[in-house]
Amino acid sequence: MSLAEAITTDIPALMADIGRKARIGANALKIATPEQKRTALLTAAGAINAHRKKILAANALDMQAAEQKGISKAFLDRLLLTDARIDGIIEAVRTIAELPDPVGTVMSEWDRPNGLHIERVRTPLGVIGVIFESRPNVTADAGALCIKSGNAVILRGGSDSFHSSRAIVDCLLDGLHLAGLPVECVQLVPTTDRAAVGEMLKGLDGNIDVIVPRGGKTLVARVQAEARVPVFAHLEGLVHVYIDRSADLDKAVNVTLNAKMRRTGICGAAETLLVHKDVVATHLKPIIDALVAKGCEIRGDATVMSMVEAAKPATEEDWKTEYEDAIISVKVVDSIEAAIAHIEHYSSYHTEAIIAEDSAAVEKFFNEIDSAILMHNASTQFADGGEFGFGGEIGIATGKMHARGPVGVEQLTSFKYRVRGTGQLRP
């Protein structure tokens, strides 16, 4: 189906059919052997490599359309595919293929006094709906993670990545077919009509078991407000870096620079820098100078403004903003308690970092902040499923139920109890 044809489709009927097919795929995939799933993913990785020119050509169409719309540089960076990024996608799919299969794993087991033997065993969630925006690699990560964890997936990407996602999904389908698994296991919604999102949020007649939104505030807010199925919330990445009074200067400079400027458009990029007042004289200017040298705009409080000529005044809105660009807000705090209070007030509970040599300060930071990921003397851009050894991620869950942090294959499973007896009767 072409993009033009997809736009004119009867959306409720289309989505109902996708839901039914996905359930068929889920029923087959939950009993697939580990080797079938491994074969499917290794074959898909090979297909992505073999068809990289086709994928790059599809991405070029998406990039051209996005540039004509005047979309931001940060957005274009998320959308862009290169040979190096395709290599990264291939490596992620291969890594996921070789992970231990979670399905059927006995999480714990015990015996009761009456002789019953009880096991808690991992089981797939079923059908996962993933609603995402511009990053084509999400197509591969989500598809591969769902296949490995025994789940069917319905992928609804943004209009800007329509062609790129289609080309990648075709490679996943090649893998499923060769492994003898139904191609219905991976469904790409073939329309950019936003009504398709509404149908997914209704649950497709009970055929979607969980929704994963991966995008900006507007998307996540809509999903949380309208979803009639469970949601793994992937909120914005309002990420903080705190420079403690005990921070090593070189680590403070290098980690902050990487956390902000390695890739400014990803959710793990630092957006707010907090600096302890005791190291303002020694640490603040070197950190700011390094950021400015890389083209970063500084928005600071009164102390920062007095020390940094290039700084602009930070407003209340700045402390609440995920820039996804080369901009950072900077504040001087009186104590670690003040830093923690600031983070707890403004954080989206995604990722926070402390740069410190004082172990007591680190433990206090770790114990009192409840974000999904906490870093010590390491860049916040490590907040990524691939960097955690998961191969990839379907998102960073910032809620507190079931999954938190990078959502990998284990987080895409639930569990059931198996109870074995020898004829026991309850008195």
Show the 3-state SS of 81-118: CCHHHHHHHHHHHHHHHHCCCCCCCEEEEEECCCCCEE
Judged against a pLDDT cut of 60, whether residue 304 lies above it is answered with yes
Side chain identity at residue 23, one-letter code = R
Chain-wide mean pLDDT for the chain? Answer: 93
| Those residues with Cβ within 8 angstroms of residue 117's Cβ, 6 or more apart along the chain or in another chain | 109, 110, 111, 419, 420, 421
d(CA 368, CA 38): 41
| Cα–Cα distance measured from residue 336 to residue 334, given in angstroms and rounded to the nearest whole number | 7
Annotate 298-312 with b (16+ C-beta within 10 A) or e (fewer): bbbbebbbebbeebe
Over range 8-34, report the average pLDDT. 93
Indicate the SS3 state at residue 329.
Answer: strand
Residue 344 tokens, joined:
């707890």
- Reported as a single tens digit per residue, the pLDDT across 252-300 is 999 999 999 999 988 899 999 999 999 999 999 999 999 999 999 999 9
The edge-to-edge listing of strands for the beta sheet with 152-156 is: 186-188, 152-156, 127-132, 210-214
Q: What single-letter amino acid sits at 346?
A: Y
Sheet with strand 239-243: strands edge to edge: 312-313, 297-300, 327-333, 270-276, 239-243, 351-355, 373-376
Over the stretch 191-239, which tens digit does the pLDDT of each residue have?
Answer: 989 899 999 999 999 999 999 988 777 787 888 889 999 988 776 789 9
pLDDT at residue 136 tops 80: yes
**What is the token pair recorded at 14?**
């289309």
Indicate if the pLDDT at residue 400 is higher than 90: no
- Name the band, by pLDDT with cuts 50, 70 and 90, for residue 401: confident
Instruction: Give CA separation, 251 vs 238, 262, 269, 306, 378, in Å.
Output: 21, 15, 17, 24, 8
Q: How far is CA 16 from the centre of its chain?
A: 27
Q: Write b or e for each residue in 190-202: b if 16 or more Cβ atoms lie within 10 A of its Cβ, otherwise e.
A: bbebeebbebbbb
Cα torsion through 361, 364, 370, 375, rounded to 10: 30
For residue 247, is pLDDT > 60? yes
Helix (H, G, I), strand (E, B) or coil at 39: helix
CB-based burial of residue 225 (10 Å sphere; 0-12 exposed, 13-18 middle, 19+ buried)? exposed
pTM for the whole structure: 0.85
328 pLDDT higher than 80? yes
For residues 57 and 3, what is the distance between their CA atoms, to the nearest angstrom? 16
Contacts of 142 (CB under 8 A, 6+ apart): 128, 130, 132, 153, 155, 212, 392, 394
CA distances from 117 to 186, 351, 416 (A): 37, 40, 14
pLDDT at residue 8 greater than cutoff 70: no
Q: What is the pLDDT of residues 361-386, one digit of tens each?
A: 999 999 999 999 999 999 999 999 88
pLDDT in tens, 60-104: 999 999 999 988 887 888 899 999 999 999 999 999 999 999 999
Q: Which helix (DSSP H) or strand (DSSP E) does residue 160 occupy?
A: none
